[in-house]
Amino acid sequence: MFNLEKLVRKHILTLKPYSSARDEYSGNEGIFIDANENPYHSVGNLDFNRYPDPYQKELKKEIAEIKNVAANQIFLGNGSDEIIDYITRTFCEPYQDNILIMPPTFAMYKVNALINTVEVKEAPLDQNFQMDEKKVHELIDENTKVVYVCTPNNPTGNNLAYQAIINILESDYNGIVVIDEAYLEFSGRDSFTSMLDKYPNMIVLQTFSKAWGMAGLRLGMGFASSEIIHMLNKIKPPYNLSQLTQETALKALSQKEQMTKMVEDMIIERKFLEEEFAKLSVVEKIYPSDTNFILVRVSNPNKVFTTLLNKLIIVRNQSHVAQCEGCLRITAGTREENIALIETLQELS
């Protein structure tokens, strides 16, 4: 049985969180001389002299509506990277606990665990970049506090099989299962957020960095039971999202159809690249993608990478990553950028 209180690090469970100046009164009216702010305005006549809402109520209300979840099932971070850090620090005791990842996958899960002196267990994906369920279940032990499932997976680009994910959620493993859906919008499948009530040990991550085109803003979303969100709220710095971030995201959410259109365009561009790559002899293998990027195996990857770099075309060299030997990860750019890429690859073919 999942027992959140048993799973959370003991000192976090008993921690009395920092209480911010506006925790007792969050209305708009009044004389605010409680937070040592500047009462005039920001330098440059901007409107940032007050601290932002620590729980981002307005923004969460909008996100809750769009995502069809309750506002208290949402945690917002300075990118999903920040949420990954809070997950580690809420659940994993340094020098004792471990997380489980399925490489090749997003590198931050491991790096963040190592920063926090938390062990990393690895159950590599199989040849088709699908979950090795037997290995995953073998490796999980009593100190495994978080299992990361990235779907679609970065850098391989594919969705993981739905049933394999459900099998972890339904197994007797009672630690946290993180489903990282950073590329969900490109994938054509439904979000796991519709199953929040069914799986109390699940945290779903999404981001504004990809489909929404707001990587520079830094805004990530975590969806989980209100009890888990309460624990994450306990350890976050009070003002982790700026007023600018909150206001800008609200504006973006009111123009959601632009996001949908851009996702369609990015998928068209990814398909264009796939078709063009298939004509090139330098490209040995194109891995199927459910994202806005493609993993390709090329002959002589370092040479291809450097040739592209010399033309100021920057791709991600994955050739040193186990199971991605010889591979480059290439994001679908604009049509013009993609043509520049193809022309250079043609010279190498």
For ligand PMP, the binding residues (CB under 6 A) are: 79-81, 106, 150, 154, 180, 182, 207, 209, 215, 220
Nearer to ligand PMP by Cβ, of 108 and 280: the residue is: 108
Smallest distance from ligand PMP to CB 41, Å: 31
Q: Which residue is nearest to ligand PMP (CB)?
A: 79
Smallest distance from ligand PMP to CB 4, Å: 24
Smallest distance from ligand PMP to CB 8, Å: 23
Nearest to 220 by CA among 320, 71, 318, 79: 79
Nearer to ligand PMP by Cβ, of 165 and 345: the residue is: 165
Nearer to ligand PMP by Cβ, of 154 and 289: the residue is: 154
Nearer to ligand PMP by Cβ, of 209 and 240: the residue is: 209
Smallest distance from ligand PMP to CB 133, Å: 20
Nearer to ligand PMP by Cβ, of 4 and 76: the residue is: 76
Smallest distance from ligand PMP to CB 207, Å: 3
Nearer to ligand PMP by Cβ, of 92 and 150: the residue is: 150
Smallest distance from ligand PMP to CB 108, Å: 7
